[in-house]
Amino acid sequence: MKVFKKYNINFVKAEASGNDFIIINARDKRIRNRRIDYKKVAADLCRRHYSVGADGILVLEPSKKADFKMRIINSDGSEASMCGNGMRCSALYASRSGWGDELAVETGAGILYVTVKDGLIKVKMTTPADICPEVTLKIGRKMFKVGYVNTGVPHAVVPVKNIDTYPVRKMGRVIRNHSYFAPRGTNVDFVEKKDRKILIRTYERGVEDETLSCGTGNVAAAVMMGVWGEASSPVAMTTKSGEITKVYFGIKDGKVKEAYLEGRANIIFEGGV
């Protein structure tokens, strides 16, 4: 049976902690020399049940500054500057493609470095910035205290009780669109410290829903727990997918100096559209 290809693009589907992506190798001349509207492609291909389905697409392009450039385009067609789990997926793809196991990657948040070794992928993340341990938000008649940190993209970190039953989608949407974070909005991470474990669920801007994991969110929440004195590096973060990722960071004189995200990623399948 002949398969009709709408875009004539080959891709790889990959995931890290359940955060799934469609990877397009735009270093390939056959792709690079075409004018492709990736925002339109993302909005189309990321539709679950009706297309490939994913949280976003990763477009890997040539770079004059690094081994390659990674563009992150969310399922709604918006473009993000950074994605920790996307970096893990891209690094695994690059390693298996023979691009190297120690890679410099150009992103919208700067050049980041990643190592692939023994199945683990460790990303040196953007240095956390704009840290505010306590932000007070008025939502309806209630006042919410949250933390805020930018780990390449903005994140509000919200401590909660009973995270398994917490209305993440409802409250995530409200906080993501709160006037305090206008006009860009923010990602929202809900965290609970339970039996020495740090549990996390994330509502992602651009996906506009809860995802099974968010790399920059894991880093944001771990760092904020460190700032609050609730955890120390390395922090094991238990994600919605059940996978545990590790976050390493250094705090000196109340400032975060560096941060790393470590975990596994998987290539699910290859295809064409």
Looking at the annotation, which residues are catalytic? 83, 214
Nearest to 130 by CA among 93, 79, 184: 184
Radius of gyration from C-alpha coordinates of the chain? 18
| Amino acid in position 185 | G
| Amino acid in position 249 | F
Number of Cβ within 10 Å of residue 47's Cβ equals 13
What does DSSP say about strands 19-25 and 56-61: parallel, antiparallel, or unpaired?
parallel
- Report d(CA 145, CA 213) in Å as an integer: 23
Residue 202 tokens, joined? 């994330």
- 215 forms beta bridges with none
> Within 192-247, where are the H helices?
215-227
Residue 218 tokens, joined? 């894991």
- In angstroms, the Cα distances linking 119 to 5, 33, 69, 145, 179 are 33, 33, 22, 38, 42
